[in-house]
């Protein structure tokens, strides 16, 4: 163990996860990077997985140690989600247990509290005061604006008042504010009169070396019916969550305009709340050019993307998109060197900025189909150009080292 002068970085993120359990990797990758520079890193997460509806570990406290500088700490927060009320109770339990946890390498020097929910900010601030540490707020979603379309009337007013209290309080108390959305500083500055210099944009990134390693996996690891379609057709592919926000009904409806092109198939890989609705749409309209597959292991996604011809991403209009978005899917898609069609009105489309594909308005199946046909006819020219542009852009701007280096600047300035 090296000198105690080395800074200890404490990261609070309710839903952070490590490779042992799968899931989001932003803070694990940051921990790897910082610990390689001999910073002590502790990540405090919940062992309950919403997506899997179970606990990763039975222990009340589970510590994974990755090297002499880096611990990943799972707290058994209760109860399981089940309902909105239980979800909130789980959040509260995380806040309380994260604050009370004390078994660190050494006292924290910098506390980064990430807003998968803003109750983490409360725990983070209390910890920072206890140890006289710098306090950094990370804004993954603009609470409560990201929930604007989910509520109405008096419920919306109540939800907004509650979460705006957290925003106002902890934005002002923070030494620095990190946002993933590129224009979030406008919202924070306009609504809460926070100095622009206090806000730093650090988007999501990708472990591109790991992505490329996964490309070397045998294609026989893929579901054989999926592999057969990818091998034999011109596939427009979506991978990820089948949720309302992803605009997948437009992709399915676009298939109605593509039926005369026997080579073109739409492939949807994933699971989520919209799965049955999409299946019913496909069956009712007898769309034999759309095929859905269950969620696959994340390590297999690069193979699926690479074997596809065009990649689709869509987002429905939401008030929060005025401030842009950083989406992990973008960087996976660009790393695959494939042309992308992005159906969204999100401000500052990174797909257009990188010239990695085409950005079109959402909710227009005919326009989407026309753009698919255009790429089908020009895949060896325009398609190759878009693919190369995307790969170059992500290599330059969104690798783990680039993103972690930006975090390091904030840590050293704090």
**One domain, residues 16 and 70:** yes
**One domain, residues 288 and 161:** no
- The pLDDT tens digits of the residues spanning 8-45 come to 999 999 999 999 887 768 999 999 999 999 999 999 99
Distances 172 to 189, 215, 323, 380, 409 between C-alpha atoms, Å: 11, 45, 20, 52, 21
Provide the token pair at 370. Answer: 């026309």
Q: Would you say residue 4 has pLDDT above 70? A: no
Domain that holds residue 293: 208-397
Q: Would you say residue 343 has pLDDT above 60? A: yes
Cα 29 to chain centroid distance, Å, stands at: 13
Asked if residue 238 lies in contact with residue 269, where contact means CB atoms within 8 angstroms, the answer is: yes
Q: Rg of the Cα trace of the chain?
A: 22
Q: Would you say residue 355 has pLDDT above 80? A: yes
In a domain? residue 50: yes
**One domain, residues 23 and 63:** yes
In a domain? residue 106: yes
* Rounded-to-integer distance, Cα 385 and Cα 164, Å: 44
**One domain, residues 239 and 142:** no
* Rounded-to-integer distance, Cα 84 and Cα 215, Å: 39
- The pLDDT tens digits of the residues spanning 278-298 come to 999 999 999 999 999 999 999
Tokens 């085409």 sit on residue: 358
* pLDDT greater at residue 263 or residue 273: 263
**One domain, residues 187 and 221:** no
In a domain? residue 3: no
Distances 327 to 7, 21, 55, 330, 331 between C-alpha atoms, Å: 30, 21, 26, 6, 8
**One domain, residues 199 and 239:** no
Q: Would you say residue 146 has pLDDT above 70? A: no
Q: Percentage of residues in the chain with pLDDT exceeding 90?
A: 84
* Rounded-to-integer distance, Cα 200 and Cα 360, Å: 29
Provide the pLDDT confidence category of residue 320 given band limits of 50, 70 and 90. Answer: confident
Centre a 10 Å sphere on the Cβ of residue 184 and count the other Cβ atoms it contains.
24
8-state DSSP, 353: H
Q: What are phi and psi of 312, to 5 degrees?
A: -110, 140
- The pLDDT tens digits of the residues spanning 164-206 come to 889 999 999 999 999 999 999 999 999 999 999 999 999 999 9
In a domain? residue 390: yes
**One domain, residues 117 and 31:** yes
For residue 37, is it left (φ>0), alpha (ψ between -120 and 50) or beta? alpha
Q: Percentage of residues in the chain with pLDDT exceeding 70?
A: 94
Tell me, what's the pLDDT at 327?
Answer: 92
* Rounded-to-integer distance, Cα 160 and Cα 179, Å: 19
Provide the token pair at 14. Answer: 């309710």
Tell me, what's the pLDDT at 2?
Answer: 37
Q: Is 323 helix (H, G, I), strand (E, B) or coil?
A: helix
Q: Terminus-to-terminus CA distance in the chain, angstroms? A: 24
Provide the token pair at 112. Answer: 């980064």
Tell me, what's the pLDDT at 339?
Answer: 98
**Does pTM top 0.85 for this prediction?**
yes
* Rounded-to-integer distance, Cα 362 and Cα 254, Å: 12
Closest by Cα among 317, 331, 301 to 237:
301
* Burial class of residue 211 in the structure, from the number of CB atoms within 10 Å of its CB (0-12 exposed, 13-18 middle, 19+ buried): buried
**One domain, residues 57 and 135:** yes
- CATH code, 377: 3.40.50.2000
**One domain, residues 155 and 239:** no
Asked if residue 145 lies in contact with residue 164, where contact means CB atoms within 8 angstroms, the answer is: no
In a domain? residue 166: yes
Q: What are phi and psi of 100, to 5 degrees?
A: -80, -20
Asked if residue 34 lies in contact with residue 9, where contact means CB atoms within 8 angstroms, the answer is: yes
In a domain? residue 181: yes
Provide the token pair at 153. Answer: 């009337």
**One domain, residues 305 and 365:** yes
Please count the structural domains in the chain: 2
**One domain, residues 215 and 297:** yes
Tell me, what's the pLDDT at 152?
Answer: 58
Q: Would you say residue 3 has pLDDT above 50? A: no
* Rounded-to-integer distance, Cα 354 and Cα 332, Å: 14
Mean pLDDT, the chain, rounded, equals 93
* Rounded-to-integer distance, Cα 87 and Cα 155, Å: 17
Asked if residue 357 lies in contact with residue 383, where contact means CB atoms within 8 angstroms, the answer is: no
Q: Would you say residue 148 has pLDDT above 60? A: no
**One domain, residues 106 and 233:** no
Q: Would you say residue 149 has pLDDT above 60? A: no
Lowest-pLDDT range of 93-107, 137-151, 363-377: 137-151
In a domain? residue 1: no
* Burial class of residue 412 in the structure, from the number of CB atoms within 10 Å of its CB (0-12 exposed, 13-18 middle, 19+ buried): exposed
């Amino acid at each position: 163990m090296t000198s105690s002068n080395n800074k200890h970085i404490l990261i609070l993120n309710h839903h952070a996860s490590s490779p042992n359990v799968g899931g989001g990797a932003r803070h694990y990758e940051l921990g790897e990077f910082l610990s390689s520079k001999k910073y002590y890193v502790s990540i405090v997460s919940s062992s309950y997985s919403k997506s899997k509806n179970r606990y990763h570990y039975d222990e009340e406290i589970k510590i994974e140690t990755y090297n002499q500088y880096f611990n990943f700490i799972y707290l058994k927060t209760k109860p399981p989600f089940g309902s909105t009320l239980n979800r909130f109770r789980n959040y509260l339990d995380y806040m309380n247990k994260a604050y009370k946890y004390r078994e660190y390498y050494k006292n924290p020097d910098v506390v980064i509290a990430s807003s998968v929910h803003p109750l983490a900010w409360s725990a983070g601030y209390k910890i920072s005061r206890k140890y006289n540490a710098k306090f950094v707020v990370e804004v993954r979603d603009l609470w409560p604006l990201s929930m604007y379309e989910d509520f109405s009337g008096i419920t919306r007013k109540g939800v907004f008042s509650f979460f705006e209290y957290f925003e106002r309080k902890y934005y002002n108390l923070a030494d620095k504010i990190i946002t993933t959305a590129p224009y979030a500083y406008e919202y924070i500055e306009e609504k809460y009169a926070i100095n622009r210099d206090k806000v730093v944009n650090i988007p999501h990134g990708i472990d591109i070396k790991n992505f490329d390693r996964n490309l070397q996996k045998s294609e026989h690891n893929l579901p054989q019916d999926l592999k057969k379609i990818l091998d034999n057709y011109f596939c427009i592919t979506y991978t990820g969550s089948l949720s309302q926000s992803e605009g997948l009904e437009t992709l399915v409806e676009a298939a109605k305009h593509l039926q005369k092109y026997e080579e073109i198939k739409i492939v949807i890989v994933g699971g989520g709340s919209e799965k049955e609705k999409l299946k019913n749409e496909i069956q009712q309209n007898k769309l034999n050019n759309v095929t859905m597959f269950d969620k696959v292991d994340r390590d297999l996604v690069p193979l699926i993307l690479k074997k596809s011809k065009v990649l689709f991403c869509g987002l429905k209009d939401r008030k929060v998109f005025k401030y842009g978005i950083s989406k992990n899917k973008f960087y996976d898609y660009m790393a695959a060197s494939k042309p992308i069609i992005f159906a969204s009105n999100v401000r500052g489309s990174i797909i257009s900025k990188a010239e990695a594909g085409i950005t079109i308005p959402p909710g227009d199946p005919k326009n989407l189909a026309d753009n698919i046909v255009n790429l089908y006819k020009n895949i060896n020219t325009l398609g190759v150009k878009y693919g190369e542009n995307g790969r170059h852009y992500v290599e330059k701007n969104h690798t783990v080292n680039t993103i972690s280096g930006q975090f390091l600047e904030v840590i050293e300035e704090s």
